[in-house]
Structure 1
Amino acid sequence: MEASLDNWTTIFLIAAAQGFFLVILLLVKEKQLLRAKLSLTAIILLFTLSLLYYVAYWTKYEQYFPGYISYTLGFTFVIGPLMLYYLRTLEVKQKMQFSAWHSIPIVLYSIHYFLRFFVNRSSNSFLSLSSFYTSEALSILIILQNIHLIVYTILCFYEVNKHNSSIQPAKHTWKRKVVFAFSGFTLSFFSYYVMVWTNTLKIEYDYMVSFAMSFFIYFIGYHAFTKPEILQTNGQSGKYEKSALTKSASKTLANKLIEHIKSQKSYLKNSLKLQDLAAELNLSSHHLSQIINEQLGQSYSDFLNTYRIEEAKRILSDPENANQKIISVAYDCGYNNKVSFHNTFKKYTGYSPTKYRELSLKNTKALAEQ
């Protein structure tokens, strides 16, 4: 059959081009490449290369390439561990090294693949997928891939929920979005082969895995252009490269800041601006912003909300405050109105203030009756 592109494969080819462009963008954007940046770049590159292979396979252009391009089928054994690694490196206080255990599946796959490739290379200049693997071997590979992806999707969700706290809510939201995008790929991959095995696959569903890959690439690409600060890790950026404040001094001042904010409870002032807090600490607003961003991994508003919401949780959990109005709690915690308090509280805790109070008082009552 003659090699040719159709509308869908053309779209996927464009998505792959977008993937390569995004990889280059992420690599050259920062002078100092961070681990999270590298792992995210690697994930996008693997998706892009896999997408290119699928396009070559469907359009019959695969026959013009070396047989070993089908090695990309095993990239699923790498994407899951890299995704987990990326999520962990986004944690400010967590130093994560890539465990060798995560490499075992791709190492075993590579050994098996290239042994078979070199054995069959002499008898066939072009090795199609069907000639490379028996149907039984291919089925086993696909089953292992699905199990591997599902396991790492669960691990990724666990990783996000494990750090579900008021610290860096914007970063936490970003992590959830990335995991949901990854789980969409896993679901598409699994659903595709379920339909293949049950003979329910329709021609219009044949591109669903590639569509999921394309979505992930465009999803990251969109955020890279519209919200580049989200892709920064550990609050680091080139913003403070020329600052006279050293890292050791910044760390010392961060501890001083935390002690001050806890003892003085400045966050309860609803009109507290960055300049006001900086004046209390005898710092410039630029240096205070640097300390909060680099050492605490937060924006100024997130920093204040961290303490304000904790204070609100304390008030709402106290049975003695059971009759206190929500608007009164909002004012006591430094908020100017009920709407902003409600939205922020739900963003940080997952509950409305009223629901949080209800659950907290119920738990307190249950413990008292034991």
Structure 2
Amino acid sequence: MIVLLLLVLSGTTSFAQISSAHMQEEVQIDSVLMFRELAFKAAKTNDAETAAIYIDKYVKRTLDFHFVEHSSFNYISEAPAYQSLVDQYVPQFKWIALFYIYSGLIGFFIVLIINIRKKKDQMAALLLSLFLLIHSVFIIHVGLYTMNYTFELPHTQSMSTVFSFLYGPLLYFYFRRIKTGYKPKWIDALHLVPTLALVIMFLPIYALSAEEKLRMMLGLGNYSSNPYGQLVAVGKILSLVVYATLTLLLFLKTRSHRTQVQTPLYVWQRNIVGFQILYALVYLVYGILLMADVNTGPVFNSQLILMSGMVLYVAYVAYSQPKVLMGFHLESNYLKYKNSGLTNSYSLELKNQLVNLLDEEKIYRENDINLDSLADRLGTTRHSASQIINEHFGQNFFELINSYRIKEAMKILKADTEREKNIIDVAYEVGFNNKVTFNKSFKKINEVTPSQYVKALYS
């Protein structure tokens, strides 16, 4: 009897709960329809402010952002209150956002180029690629956000936040690699601990459904629209400042060890360190304003423009001077010869002698010239001759000799307006032993064969 009574009471309770849930759902549906009708009614009477209130309520209940563009609101299309909703919810074109997205896409392309090109340093390429990639993801994300496309792509919510503590470490270890050839150790994984903690914090957010993320963007979910915002800002400021300092100290420590040929490398490293320091300072100001609840608009855009500029600069260097990005193989010349005992003054003296041998005596025309015979003419050792070529010309012996041969061959072919000379005769004249080597060297320098070059001259 008691059991039966409990079952009846239990069933009554369940029925009451179900009835209550249905009633709440009906009330919600009725209120949504009411918001819709009140918005239409206010728009028809040109009451833009009231219409905007109910449009906003409807959007937040239904997550139907396209409702803002309903033709019924043409009556109030010029009203500031309505325009404010359009700016807040409707996808729209903005030049600055397009610039961000364009820069990010260029970044993706350069990441691909860096990794498919033949290179000597896989580690440096990986570190630079990751550094460039996370910047590209961030600025594309912001570009989409600025144009309100994150409402169309809710799973982009906070997608770049977990990279916040990686900017500094990646650039620092890239610098250590290209400056000293440093090989990461297991203990260096400790630098990734803050990022791992951030990933763990954001996993529940990434696991949310698209609808829950949309509510979150509107400030209606269990998380704020900018989750852990102040914590991330403080952590990112500390990370940027610490690693920017470490990178700057490393750069300053080694900047005196450069020669004429290493100037492009020095400029690249100086500029990228400058970008990092400037970005750290701008983000420091942004973080302070954010925590003080002050408008961060101008400063926020400043850091985005700075990021985009850095990505485009890396793209330019990757296109114009790709070897500079993997700098250790240029700086290794210094490391290789640092104990050679060759003083700066003697190095310059030998360099001037070598230039004279090439420009005045044209020793490259001798088809049997080699490093040993060149060293004899310079009155120095083979090792020192190799050092001079590497440090002052950024090439090895054969690259230097062949570059001079090709330059003269081009002059001869260009001056031969009557086309009396055969290409093979020109090759022999400037010092090559065979046509194959001549063609290969010519194309490497000019990206066209000798025949194509001659054809272009007289076409």
- Give the deviation of 1:183 after TM superposition: 1.6
| 1:88–1:94 contact (8 Å) kept in structure 2 | yes
Residue in structure 1 matching 2:279, options 170, 177, 185: 185
User: How many residues are treated as equivalent by the alignment?
Assistant: 282
Distance (whole Å) between structure 2 residues aligned to residue 161 and residue 184 of structure 1: 16
Counterpart residue number, 2:253? 162
Does structure 1 residue 12 correspond to structure 2 residue 104?
A: no
Structure 2 Cα separation of the partners of residues 71 and 24 of structure 1: 21
Amino acid at match of 1:160: F
Change (3 A) 1:221 1:116: closer
Match of 2:164 among 62, 76, 89: 76
Aligned to 1:279: 373
- Structure 2 vs 1, CA of residues 154 and 122 (structure 1 numbering), >3 Å: closer, same or farther? same
- Measured after TM superposition, the shift of residue 214 of structure 1 is 0.2
Contact conserved, 2:131 with 2:171, CA < 8 A, in 1? Answer: yes
- Deviation of 1:266 after TM superposition, in Å, equals 6.1
Rate the CA distance shift 1:290–1:28 in 2: closer, same or farther, 3 A: farther
2:175–2:247 Cα contact (<8 Å) kept: yes
Question: In 2, Cα distance between the equivalents of 1:221 and 1:230?
Answer: 12
Map of 1:147-158 to 2, 5 A cutoff? Answer: 147-158=238-249
5 Å matches for 1:45-84? 45-67=133-155, 69-84=157-172
Q: Select the residue among 172, 194, 212 that pairs with 1:105.
A: 194
Q: Which amino acid aligns with 1:272?
A: Q
Q: Counterpart of 2:391?
A: 299
Report the AA paired with residue 164 of structure 2: T
Aligned to 2:428: none
User: What SS does the corresponding residue of 2:352 show, helix, strand or coil?
Assistant: coil
Q: TM-score, normalised by structure 2?
A: 0.52
Inter-partner Cα distance in structure 1 for 2:157 and 2:211: 17
- 1:27 and 2:89 matched: no
Q: Flag the 1:292–1:180 CA change in 2: closer, same or farther, 3 A.
A: same
The separation in 2 between residues aligned to 1:191 and 1:123, in whole angstroms, is 34
Residues 292-338 of structure 1 show CA distances to partners (whole Å, capped at 9, x for unaligned) of 49xx9x533589xxxxxxxxxxxxxxxxxxxxxxxxxxxxxxxxxxx
Distance of 2:387 and 2:351 partners within structure 1 = 19
CA contact (8 A) 2:164 2:232 kept: no
Aligned match for 1:40, one of 128, 131, 147: 128
CA distance in 1 between partners of 2:307 and 2:235 (Å)? 19
* Residue 222 in structure 1 maps to residue 310 in structure 2: no
Structure 1 window deviating more from structure 2 (66-75 vs 85-94): it is 66-75
Q: Label 1:288 to 1:96 Cα distance change in 2 as closer, same or farther (>3 A).
A: farther
Mark the CA change 1:265 to 1:186 in structure 2 (over 3 Å): closer, same or farther: closer
CA deviation after TM superposition for structure 1 residue 30, in Å: 1.9
Q: Give CA deviations for 1:82-120 in whole Å, capped at 9, x if unaligned.
A: 0001100112454444711110110000011103443x5
- What are the residue-to-residue correspondences of 1:130-145 with 2, within 5 Å? 130=219, 131=221, 132-133=223-224, 137-145=228-236
Over aligned residues, Cα RMSD in angstroms? 3.9
Instruction: Specify the alignment match of 2:9 in structure 1.
Output: none
Question: Aligned letter for 1:108?
Answer: A
CA distance in 1, matches of 2:139, 2:329: 32
Q: 1:280 to 1:290 in 2, by over 3 A?
A: closer
In 2, the alpha carbon distance for the partners of 1:164 and 1:87 equals 12
Higher relative contact order (CA 8 A, sep 6+): 1
Q: Secondary structure at the match of 1:63?
A: coil
Amino acid at match of 1:148: S
The residue that corresponds to 1:146 in the other structure is 237
Counterpart position of 2:35: none
Q: Does structure 1 conserve the Cα–Cα contact (< 8 Å) formed by 2:155 and 2:210?
A: no
Structure 2: distance between partners of 1:117 and 1:129: 16
Aligned partners of 2:104 and 2:139 also within 8 Å: yes
Unaligned runs of 5+ in 1: 237-249, 304-370
| Residue of structure 1 equivalent to 2:361 | none
User: How far has the Cα of 1:261 moved from its partner?
Assistant: 4.0
Percent identity at matched positions?
16
- Please tell me whether the aligned partners of residues 351 and 392 of structure 2 are also in contact (alpha carbons under 8 angstroms): no
Decide which structure has the larger Cα Rg and report it: 2
1:9/1:227 CA distance change after superposition, 3 Å: same
Distance in 2 of aligned mates of 1:159 and 1:266: 26
User: How many Å separate the matches in 2 of 1:86 and 1:193?
Assistant: 26
Normalized against structure 1, the TM-score is what?
Answer: 0.64
1:299 is matched by which residue type in structure 2?
A: E
User: CA separation of 1:135/1:222 partners in 2, compared to 1, >3 Å: closer, same or farther?
Assistant: closer
CA positional deviation for 1:231: 1.6
Distance in 2 separating the partners of 1:290 and 1:270: 9
- Which residue identity is paired with 1:216? M
CA spacing shift, 1:265–1:8, aligned 2, 3 Å: closer
Q: After TM superposition, give the deviation of residue 209 of structure 1 in Å.
A: 2.0
Match of 2:328 in 1: 234
In the alignment, is the contact (CA less than 8 A) between 2:111 and 2:132 conserved in 1?
A: yes
Structure 1 CA distance, aligned partners of 2:372 and 2:339?
13
User: Retained in 1: the 8 A contact 2:178–2:329?
Assistant: no
Amino acid at match of 1:140: L
